[in-house]
Structure 1
Amino acid sequence: MSFFSRALAASAEDLGAVLATVVAASGSTPRHLGARMMIGSDGRLIGSVGGGRIEHEVMQRCEEVARTGEPQVVSHHLVRDLAMCCGGSMDVALTQATGCRPALLALATAERERVPLILETPVDGGPWRTRAPAPGERPRRRPHRVEAHIQEVCGLAPRVILFGAGHVGRAVGELAATCGFEVIACDDGDTGALDHPLPWAKLTLATFDPAEVELALAGFGEDDLVLIVTRDHAVDQRILEALLPRLELGFLGMIGSRGKVARFLRRMVAKGLVSGAEDPRWARLAAPIGLDLGAETPAEIAVSVVAQLVAIHRLGQPAARVRRAEQSSPPVSPPGSSLVSPLGPHAGE
Structure 2
Amino acid sequence: MKEIKNIIAEYHKIDFDKKKAALATVVKVRGSSYRSPGARMLITNDGRWIGSISGGCLEGDALRRAREVMQTGEPQVITYDTTAEGDSLGIGLGCNGIIDVLIQAIGEDDADNPIKRLESLVNYDNLSVIATVFRTNGTPGVAEQLWIDNNKNVHGDIRDKALRTQMSQDLLWVQENRKPEIKTYANGQLEVFFEIVEPCIDLLIFGAGFDARPVVDLAKVMGWDVTVTDECIAHIAPARFPLADQVKLCKREHVSEEIKIKPYSAAVLMSHNYEYDLQVLKRLLPTPVNYIGILGPKKRVDKMYESLEAEGFELTAEDKHRIHSPIGLDIGAETPEEIALSIITEIQAKFTNRSGGFLKYRNAPIHHRDGKEDQVFKQVFINQVIEKKSSI
TM-score normalised by the shorter chain: which range applies? 0.7 to 0.9
Partner of 2:106: 97
Separation in 1, partners of 2:214, 2:334: 12
**3-state SS in 1 of match to 2:195:** strand
The answer for the alignment partner of 2:296 in structure 1 is 256
Q: Which residue of 2 aligns with 1:5?
A: 8
Distance 1:127 1:4 in 2: 20
> How many Å separate the matches in 1 of 2:245 and 2:179?
24
1:126 and 2:163 matched: no
2:350 is the alignment partner of 1:312: yes
Checking the alignment, whether the CA contact within 8 Å between 1:118 and 1:130 is kept in structure 2 is: yes
2:362 maps to none
Whichever residue aligns with residue 118 of structure 2, its letter is: L
Q: How far does residue 24 in structure 1 lie from its aligned partner after superposition?
A: 0.7
SS at match of 1:24: strand
**CA 1:22–1:195: 2 relative to 1, 3 Å:** closer
Task: Report if the CA contact (8 A) 1:208-1:239 is conserved.
Answer: no
Q: Distance in 2 between matches of 1:106 and 1:270?
A: 50
Which residue matches 1:177? 220
> Alpha-carbon deviation of 1:273?
2.4
Shift of 1:312: 2.2
Partner SS for 1:196: helix
User: 1:230–1:236: 8 Å Cα contact kept in structure 2?
Assistant: yes
> 1 or 2 for the larger relative contact order (CA 8 Å, sep ≥6)?
2
* 1:19 maps to which of 7, 15, 23: 23
What residue in structure 2 maps to residue 157 of structure 1? 200
Q: Deviations over 1:117-140 (max 9, x none)?
A: 432333255255544323894543
Q: Is residue 65 from structure 1 mapped to residue 69 from structure 2 by the alignment?
A: yes
Of 208, 218, 233, the match for 2:274: 233
User: Secondary structure of the equivalent of 1:191?
Assistant: coil
TM-score by length of 2: 0.70
Separation in 2, partners of 1:92, 1:154: 18
Instruction: Please identify, of 203-212 and 301-310, the stretch whose mean Cα deviation from structure 2 is larger.
Output: 203-212
- In the alignment, the residues of structure 2 paired with residue 237 and residue 145 of structure 1 have an alpha-carbon distance, to the nearest angstrom, of 46
Residue of structure 1 equivalent to 2:286: 245
Instruction: Pick closer, same or farther for the CA change 1:250–1:43 going to 2, 3 Å.
Output: farther
CA contact (8 A) 1:164 1:230 kept: yes
Contact persistence 1:19–1:36 (CA under 8 A)? yes
Name which of structure 1's ranges 184-193 and 24-33 shifts more when overlaid on structure 2: 184-193
Among residues 261, 266, 269, which one is paired with 2:306 in the alignment?
266
Taking structure 1 as the reference length, what is the TM-score of the superposition?
Answer: 0.77
Amino acid at match of 1:229: M
Q: Which residue matches 1:303?
A: 341
CA–CA distance in structure 2, aligned partners of residues 268 and 193 of structure 1: 28
1:291 is matched with 329
**Contact map agreement 2:82 2:94 (CA 8 A) in 1:** yes
Q: Is this contact kept in 2: 1:33–1:144, CA < 8 A?
A: no
Corresponding residue for 1:343?
none
How many Å apart are 1:263 and its aligned residue?
A: 2.8
* Aligned-residue offset at 1:34: 1.2
Contact 1:166 1:193 in 2 (8 A): no
- Report if the CA contact (8 A) 1:290-1:323 is conserved: no
Residue 42 in 1 paired to residue 46 in 2? yes
Aligned length, in residue pairs: 315
- Contact 1:187 / 1:194 at 8 angstroms: preserved in 2? no
Distance in 2 of aligned mates of 1:223 and 1:101: 28
Is 1:206 aligned with 2:246? no
Matched residue SS, 1:79 = coil
Tell me if the contact between 2:236 and 2:249 (Cα under 8 Å) persists in the aligned partners. Answer: no
CA 95–103 in structure 1, closer or farther in 2 if over 3 Å, else same: closer
Q: How does 1:215-230 map to 2 (within 5 A)?
A: 215=258, 217=260, 220-230=261-271
Q: Structure 1 CA distance, aligned partners of 2:103 and 2:81?
A: 17
- CA apart distance, 1:160: 1.6
Q: Hey, what's the Cα distance between the residues in 2 that align with 1:63 and 1:284?
A: 48
CA apart distance, 1:298: 2.0
1:203 and 1:45, CA in 2 relative to 1: closer, same or farther beyond 3 A?
farther
Q: Which runs of 5+ in 1 are unaligned?
A: 325-349
Counterpart code for 2:330: D
